[in-house]
A = this chain, B = another copy of it.
Amino acid sequence: MLGNFKYSNPTKLYFGDDAMSYLPEALSGFGEKVMLTYGGGSIKRNGIYDDVIRILRECGKTVVEDAGIMSNPTVDKLYEGCRIARENDVDLILAVGGGSTIDYAKAVSVSAWCEGDPWEKYFLHMEEPSNRIIPVGSILTMAGTGSEMNGGSVITNHETKLKIGHVFGDNVMPKFSILNPRFTFSVPKYQMVAGIYDIFNHISEQYFSGEDDNVSDYISEALMKSVVRNSRIAIDDPEDYEARSNIMWAASWALNTFVGMGKSQDWEVHMIGQAIGAYTDATHGMTLSAVSLPYYSRILPFAIPKFKRFAIEVFGVDTTGKNDEDIAREGLCAMESWMKEIGVVMSARNIGVTEDMIEGIADATFLLDGGYKKLTRKDVAEILRESLNA
């Protein structure tokens, strides 16, 4: 049954290979001072940086730069960004990059004018923003997190070894996002594949929860099928515009609150993955792929009907002569084959996890209630050990 909910998503999207030409229109509603946030040098190498700067100047904007956003944005970087935003009293934060850069921009957006420590208030205690929020716009260069159309923001504190995501409301969602699938062509294969698995897992985290048969379940299957299909094409030819555009569009809808509306959700894979990230600084999507199979195999016995449905609807498993559990397990086998085919990380060993980290990561993992079986700390340690030995 669909539970009660509020839905609102005010992000305006400009999608396509001409999307950048709408940047002036997108900027028109905002003040003159723009803080440009971006990561390393990739947007300078591929020309996006020059285009953005030119357009900002033509639109009469004053630009303040905040570069060097790392793939797992840190608390220290957040404090620095807040200082820049505050000292320059910026009117808009324009994030140019992937999910990390946009997540970071949203963190600065709520934190810059926060009284007290934003890490404590907005991440440790998950409070709702009560202070002034600086509007954010984004120019997306990598498909995966869905940050371009949601209120999510993940920040890492290396000192306390915590990586925490806060999903803020529609007042923190980007006001606009520019989505040009061509901008994703030059993403390195490792990052592309990590992004693809991140998309898939966003959907499965919302799908593998609850006993209902809602519109959401059908939509989730549709998104997963489309991601699997287009990932195969994109692996063969990263410049296949059709595949990259469909992956980009699916990414936004996998995590813009739509498919999760009115239903329970899991998110335990993300909890373990984020704890790994806090310890190893590994690429987010690969922390998810490394623990997914041990996790889903462990919870499967508690939700055979849903895993059977997944097997049939997403991976087209043939049911002839098989019992429900066999069909369900074959679905996970098909998922495993697909994961190996596109080349995601299947063992935590390959993203820097070592035996001596296991207890610490298990301690840093939040244990949630929404999945088919609530894990214990011991379960998490066993999942990590299985992944390490995979």
**Complexed CA–CA distance, A7 and B7 (Å):** 16
Q: Chain B residue with minimal CB distance to A17?
A: B4
In residues 240-269 of chain A, which contact B (Cβ within 8 Å)?
A: 241-242, 245-246, 249-250, 253, 261-262
A79 at the B interface (CB under 8 A): no
In residues 199-242 of chain A, which contact B (Cβ within 8 Å)?
A: 212-215, 218-219, 221-223, 225-226, 229, 241-242
Q: Chain B residue with minimal CB distance to A2?
A: B245
Complex interface: chain B residues within 8 A of A22 (CB) = 6
A280 at the B interface (CB under 8 A): no
Q: A2-B249, A16-B3 are in contact. Are A218 and B226 (CB under 8 A)?
A: yes
Is B2 within 8 A of A19, CB to CB? no
Is B223 within 8 A of A249, CB to CB? no
Complex interface: chain B residues within 8 A of A226 (CB) = 214-215, 218
Is A13 within 8 A of B2, CB to CB? no
A185 at the B interface (CB under 8 A): no
Is B6 within 8 A of A12, CB to CB? yes
Q: A215-B223, A223-B218, A242-B212 are in contact. Are A15 and B9 (CB under 8 A)?
A: no
Complex interface: chain B residues within 8 A of A10 (CB) = 8, 10
The secondary-structure label for the interface of chain A is: mixed
**Complexed CA–CA distance, A13 and B2 (Å):** 14
Q: Chain B residue with minimal CB distance to A11?
A: B8
A296 at the B interface (CB under 8 A): no
A341 at the B interface (CB under 8 A): no
Is B3 within 8 A of A13, CB to CB? no
Instruction: Report copies per complex.
Output: 2
A49 at the B interface (CB under 8 A): no
A350-370 interface code vs B (CB 8 A; 1 in, 0 out) = 000000000000000000000
Q: Chain B residue with minimal CB distance to A218?
A: B222
Q: Chain B residue with minimal CB distance to A241?
A: B1
**Complexed CA–CA distance, A146 and B18 (Å):** 30
Q: Count of A residues near B, CB < 8 Å?
A: 42
Return the contact of A4 from the options B3, B4, B15, B246 (Cβ within 8 A).
Answer: B15
Return the contact of A13 from the options B7, B16, B221 (Cβ within 8 A).
Answer: B7
Complex interface: chain B residues within 8 A of A2 (CB) = 15-16, 181, 242, 245-246, 249
Is A229 within 8 A of B213, CB to CB? yes
A5-33 interface code vs B (CB 8 A; 1 in, 0 out) = 11111111111111100100000000000
Q: Chain B residue with minimal CB distance to A248?
A: B2
Complex interface: chain B residues within 8 A of A261 (CB) = 15, 249
In residues 44-100 of chain A, which contact B (Cβ within 8 Å)?
A: none
Return the contact of A222 from the options B6, B11, B17, B221 (Cβ within 8 A).
Answer: B221
**Complexed CA–CA distance, A215 and B258 (Å):** 15
Is B16 within 8 A of A215, CB to CB? no
Is A7 within 8 A of B12, CB to CB? yes
Complex interface: chain B residues within 8 A of A17 (CB) = 4
Is A218 within 8 A of B225, CB to CB? yes
Complex interface: chain B residues within 8 A of A221 (CB) = 218, 222
Q: Chain B residue with minimal CB distance to A12?
A: B8
Complex interface: chain B residues within 8 A of A18 (CB) = 4
Complex interface: chain B residues within 8 A of A9 (CB) = 9
**Complexed CA–CA distance, A110 and B253 (Å):** 31
Chain B proximity of A180: nearest CB distance (Å): 9
Q: A2-B242, A9-B9 are in contact. Are A15 and B218 (CB under 8 A)?
A: no
13 interchain pairs (CB within 8 A)? A1-B241, A4-B15, A4-B16, A6-B22, A7-B12, A8-B13, A212-B242, A213-B242, A214-B226, A214-B242, A215-B226, A215-B250, A249-B262
